[in-house]
Structure 1
Amino acid sequence: MNATDTSTVPIYDLLIAERGDVVADAARAAEQTLRELAGTLDFGLADGDGIGA
């Protein structure tokens, strides 16, 4: 079940209305964190030039 697919779980619609879509918010925060880490941890190494290659 997708976090934004609520058609089969009516109680989820009620919870979202009351509390906000915490699952979708957490997914967005995780995606943003991964993007930021990708830029932070980019050492400029070409594929195969890193450790374990």
Structure 2
Amino acid sequence: MNDSIHTVDALIYDSLIAERGDVIADAARVAEQTRREADRALDFGMPDLPTD
């Protein structure tokens, strides 16, 4: 019975992706892009401090 529930969930998710796009994957891509842009914007060219 659990397999049929997961199958239904997957079908619903697949139909939502087809209808609306993969919002979770889009959000992950935008978050990664934003993180990279922030890294570049906050890079003041200072050497890294020793970790000791």
Does the alignment reach a TM-score above 0.5?
Answer: yes
Aligned residues: 43
The whole-number CA distance in structure 1 between the counterparts of 2:47 and 2:22 is 39
Q: Which has the higher contact order (CA 8 A, sep 6+)?
A: 1
Asked if 1:20 is matched to 2:21, the reply is: yes
Q: Would you tell me which structure has more helix in proportion to its own residues? A: 2
Q: Which runs of 5+ in 2 are unaligned?
A: 1-6
What CA RMSD, in Å, does the superposition of the two structures yield over aligned residues?
2.0
Larger Rg belongs to: 2
Q: Which runs of 5+ in 1 are unaligned?
A: 1-6
TM-score w.r.t. structure 1 length? Answer: 0.69
The one-letter amino acid paired with 1:11 is I
TM-score w.r.t. structure 2 length? Answer: 0.71
